[in-house]
Each structure stands twice: as C-alpha cells, then as structure tokens.
A and B are shown apart, each in its own frame.
Chain A
Amino acid sequence: MTVSAPPIEIEDLHKSFGELEVLRGVDLSVTTGEVICIIGPSGSGKSTLLRCVNLLEVPSAGRVLIEGYDITDPETDVDEVRAKIGMVFQQFNLFPHLTVLKNLTIAQRKVLGRATDEAISVAEAMLSRVGLADKRDEYPIRLSGGQQQRVAIARSLCMNPDMMLFDEPTSALDPELIDEVLDVMRALADEGMTMLIVTHEMRFAKQVADRVLFIDEGVIQEQGPPSDVLENPKNERTRRFLRAVEH
C-alpha cells in the first residue's frame, strides 16, 4: 500500500442492471478527511455509486480503488477492504435479534478477532460517543429511528473504519429525529473522518460538505464547494433540481 494513495479513487465507473444503465462513467477522487455530499434526483444513481464503493453492487466496468487497492480485482480480499469502510443505511439495518451491545461487538469479534472484553469496551466507548450509553442492553426495536441510526453509526465506528459511507441516513426518520443523527455526523466530520454522504439535507450539505456532487442520469453533472454548487449552480439541471427540493 502506498501511503499517499487516496482513500477512494473511482475511474470510469459503469453499472447496469440488465438493460438499465444506472452509472455511465463516473470519475471521483476523494482525499483523506474530505466530506463529500452527493445530491441528485431519485433514480439518478447516487445510491448505486455509494454501493459500488464497498462492492455491495459489483461494477459493470471501471475501477474502484480503496487506499490504492483495486477492489474490483477478483484477487482482492473484499471482506478485508469492507471492514475499513463503514456503511450506514437508510433503513438502519440493525440486527434485531441482538441487543445494542451485541450489535456493536459481533463484527469486532468475528471479523477483527477482538477478545470479548476488548470488543465490549470499544462498543461502550462508541455508544457514549453517540450519546446512547444507557441503551446498551436494549433490543433495537425498543429504540426510536434516530436512536437506531446512531447505534448503526456506532456499530460502524467500532470497526475503526478509515472512511464512512452514508446512504440517505436521515430519509427514513421523522423530521424531529433528523438533527440528532446529523449532529453525530457533523462531529465525525469535525474529527476528520473521510465521508461520502448521499443526502437530501441541503442545509447540512451546505454546513458540512467540503465538496458537493450533483449526479443525474448516471454521471456527475456538477461538482465543487457547496457555496458554488448549492448557491450558484452553473448547470441547468442542478438549478432545476435545487428549485424542486426547496419547495
């Protein structure tokens, strides 16, 4: 591994589902500590792009390099790479048959081979970080959506990821629960975590993103600092999209 390799490098990424071409050539280089918000209309391919980064979707063509490793190469140990990439889903996807604490320790023990004691102390630290230390023995179903999503973030953090992917992390939440999740993400960004966030929260993107990507019809239509893309969009599609979401 070269030390200077960027955390995520995407070259000419294509992805088709049968006849439907969702991504039509995406290039992207993410630098360490960068926070990128991906916006765009539904069905534009933004979630697919994110899911290609940790190979939940297998690209049809192009390359994805994580810290210099080509994960589209069949020789690469995908599980090892995935453990370095935290992923947070729209539907939280906590394991409902396990307590909060076990949700946080199971992958530490089975993937990283940590001893139970160590896994528990890491889990407890991450739970306090998202403000849910008192929920360690609850089952996910007993938590609110916002709490579940914070547990999901803590679960990813337990693996000491080098970068985090967020796939519409607040889209399934009641409006009053959105901020508690965004606050946790903001704190992560401030600590220098490399983050790729698919979101509809424009205010959050404005405040937190280093770079905003506008994706439509499977390509990056426009990108740049939020002050450019969100406030002075050059592309007509971006303008139309932003006008639509503001109402």
Chain B
Amino acid sequence: MRRAEIRRRVIYVATIILLVVLAFTIDWQQLQQSFFQPDIIKAMFPDVILIGAKNTIIYTTLAFSFGLVLALFLALMKRSTIGPYRWFATGYIELFRGLPALITIILVAFGLPLALGIRIPGGTLGKGTLGLGLVAGAYMAETIRAGIEAVPRGQMEAARSLGMPKSTAMTYIILPQAFRIIIPPLTNELVLLIKDTSLLFVIGTTPLSKELTKFARDFMTSTQNATPLTVVAFMYLLITLPMTFLVQRLERKAGKGR
C-alpha cells in the first residue's frame, strides 16, 4: 500500500518535470507559425464548413445508409439455410474486411472503368460512397448478424407459434430487438466511416466536392503551412466526439435496461 503510494507520487512529479522541461524547450513561436497561423485559419472559413465538413457529412451519410442496407441483406444471407446465399455472404464479408479500404475505393473508382468499362456516375459522390459503402457493409453485416443472434431463441419461437411466417417474425420481432442491441457498435462503425471519408482524396476531386482532408491538403499546398491540418483536425473532432459520447451513454443505458 505505501509502496504503491510512493510510486504514484513519483510518476506525478516526473510528469510535472517533463511538462516544465517541454514548456521551456519548445519553440512556441515556431509552433504557432506552423500550426496556428490566424491569417490562414481566417482564410479557410467559411469554406472549410460549407464545402469540407458538408461533403464529409454527405459522403458519410450516403455510404452509411448504403452500407447498412447491404449489411442487412448480407447478415440475413449469412444466416440463410440456402448454401449459396451463405457462401456468397461469407466470401463477400471476408473479402472486403480483408482488403484495405483504400484498395476498394481505388478499385471502384479506377479499376471498374478500366477492367469492365463500367463508369460509376456521380463523381466522388458516386464512386466514393459506393466504395466506402461496400467496405462498411462487410463490417456492419457481422455486427447485425451478432445482433440477430443475441435475441433469445424463444422470441422467434413465440412469433412462429403465433402463426407468423419467418419474414414477418424477422421484420417485426427479431430485427427491432437486434437493432436496439447493436446501436452502440453501429455508432462506432459510423465514427470509423467518418474518418474513412478522408481516403476519398485518391479519387481526385473538383473544388466543390472536396471533403475535409482533401480540403486541408490543398490548402497546405498553397500556403506551405500545416495550419489547415489543425483546423480540420478540430472539425473532425467536432463531428466525432459527440458521437463517441453518445455511444458511451447508450452503452451505459443498455447495461442498465437489460
């Protein structure tokens, strides 16, 4: 007990010393010059919100919606009694979880037109959200499947014994309960997806279709300064932190309710 107390104090003192040393050795002027230049910050507004943040949110929303629908079908297929459905779902999920998201995005944007002559319409919006949604669908499919399996078996039995066909029981009894269970992990997937929209820079975008990261990179190139990064970092946190808090609250609530 006393030794633990001593160790604790040593760590506190060491931390304070480290901070003091850092405070005196860091070149604050330099730091401010590179990361917090007020002129650059001013120049970035309002476009960083009206273009960057707006597009990030639009891409995320579309990719998430598409991914969620895809994931629901994959999850149901993976639980099907029909072999080929199961095989397809398993293959799909393993493939897209195994590939880096960046590869999938490049494949959709450049691979498909080259290989098959298929052109995905809608520019970054179309190609980007399709690529991201394909990946998100694979991850969320496993989440949804776990949710369905977390609903007690008796629920399906009760529904079937009331004469409900399987699809009716799934729609009205099982899925509503499954989604309630998986709201926290799904929100997590959403946060991951928000950050993954930063990969869309590879598609090469028009000035109006830039999301936050592309927006910052272009600004960095023209200003030769890292301040734009700081600004978009804050923008990302502004979007993701409330969601992370939301997940924590939901998880606490779910822990209490059940």
Contacts and interface: CB of A to CB of B under 8 A. Distances in A.
Given A110-B168, A110-B172, A111-B168, A93 B158 contact: yes
Interface stretch (B9-17, B63-71, B116-124, B173-181): B173-181
B157 A93 contact: yes
A58 to B, nearest CB: 12
A106 B160 CA distance: 12
Interface residues of B, number: 19
Among the interface residues B157, B160, B161, B173, which one has the most CB atoms of the partner chain A within 10 A?
B161
Contacts of A91: 152, 154
Contacts of A111: 162-164, 168
Contacts of B100: none
Nearest to A81: B163
Contacts of A83: 162-163
B160 A82 contact: yes
Interface in B166-224: 168, 172-173, 176-177, 180
Contacts, number: 61
A223 interface: no
Contacts of B162: 82-83, 107, 111, 155-156, 159
A112 B159 CA distance: 13
A85 interface: yes
A87 to B, nearest CB: 4
A225 B46 CA distance: 86
Interface in A67-91: 79-80, 82-87, 89, 91
A159 B160 CA distance: 13
B250 to A, nearest CB: 15
Contact of B176 (A80, A87, A97): A97
Contacts of A112: 163
Nearest to B173: A95
A167 B90 CA distance: 37
Nearest to A107: B162
Nearest to B166: A79
Given A79-B163, A80-B163, A82-B163, A89 B158 contact: yes
